[in-house]
Amino acid sequence: MIFLSTKRILKFSWQHFWRNIWLSIVTMTIIVLTLFSLTTLVLVNAIADYAVNSVKDTIDVSLYFDNSIKEETVQALEKELEKIEEIKEITRVSPADALAEFKEVHKDDADIQAALAELDKNPLGGTLILTAFNMDQYPLIMEKIKELKADQLAEKIDYNDHQKLIERINGFSNKLRNFVLALSIIFIFIAVLTVLNTIRMGIYIHRTEIAIMRLVGASNWFIRLPFIVEGLLYAIFGCLIFWGAWALALYFSGDWINSFLTGINFDIRAYFNSNILNILGFEFIIIAVINMISAVLAMSKHLKV
């Protein structure tokens, strides 16, 4: 009996959907626009996070030593620095490595290569590069470096905390996020109104059928459920259409979009591939809830059973 009722409810829902196909198309178009807005919101969040993280990854403290400082002294300092618990990693670049790297970087510069050949010994000293677990720990690490008097030993300490850059990225991404969020809310509101209106029209179109259903003893849920399922059908088809279009857009223009994001190493295809279930689930739940709420609102006002 439940199977039969379910089958007939689905049949009636499909009839509502199909017999008013133009209204259904308009409704699904609004859902697609809402999904576009929501996906953009997800994307803006992701890109902002990537941008901030990529800046964070470049933060470090570099201690440059004069070539007069013996390597053993640098190694001893490295051991002291290893005791600082805020430091995640220490990379030591020996004078030889530094020279090799310098030569590699300037391999096409004949003057520099000639000048280096003239020198008897390596003009470069060693370098210690420190990275913290957390960007907030750098000021503390700087204090501890001073306590160890490493600042006196090093010829130069290079520390750029990029705090202003991060603040600027956060500021910009927050503004963009708020704009897209506002846009999403507007689209959600329009989607609610559209679905509500479509279902209201459906109730009006099927008023004779509904009256007869009531007359012959159809249960309240048997009358109401087709309209809720109809709302779900709009959600399912709207999502499928949008996701199909989005997948095509990514397939054909993913490289082009990525070309704008090379600085932060963001690959839009890889991002969607690894987060696809979360994004689709989040979007479907939002759209399905919107549609069901709209259906219930339309019925509560226009469908007396």
Partner 1 sequence: MIELRNVSKTYNNGTEAVKNITLHIKPGEFVSLVGRSGTGKTTLVKMLVAEERPTEGRIILGGWDITRIKTADIPMLRRQIGVVFQDYKLLPRKTVFENVAFALEVASYSKKHIQEAVPQILALVGLEPKANEFPDELSGGQQQRVSIARALAHRPKILIADEPTGNLDSVNTREIIDLLLKINNFKTTVMLVTHNRDVVNSLRKRVVALEDGKIAYDQERGRYIL
Residues that bind partner 1 (CB under 8 A): 1, 4-5, 8, 208-209, 211-220, 222, 305
| Closer by beta carbon to partner 1, 1 or else 110 | 1
Residue 299 C-beta: closest distance to partner 1, Å: 14
- d(C-alpha 89, C-alpha 52), whole Å: 20
Residue 220 C-beta: closest distance to partner 1, Å: 7
| Closer by beta carbon to partner 1, 217 or else 252 | 217
| Closer by beta carbon to partner 1, 9 or else 35 | 9
| Closer by beta carbon to partner 1, 219 or else 253 | 219
- d(C-alpha 163, C-alpha 188), whole Å: 36
Residue 28 C-beta: closest distance to partner 1, Å: 25
Residue 266: is it exposed, middle or buried by C-beta count within 10 angstroms (0-12/13-18/19+)?
buried
| Closer by beta carbon to partner 1, 3 or else 22 | 3
HEC secondary structure over 164-222: HHHHHHHHHHHHHHHHHHHHHHHHHHHHHHHHHHHHHHHHHHCHHHHHHHHHCCCCHHH
Strand, coil or helix: 62: strand
Q: In what order do the strands lie in the sheet with 87-93?
A: 87-93, 127-132, 61-64, 156-159
Residue 223 C-beta: closest distance to partner 1, Å: 8
| Amino acid type, 86 | E
Residue 305 C-beta: closest distance to partner 1, Å: 8
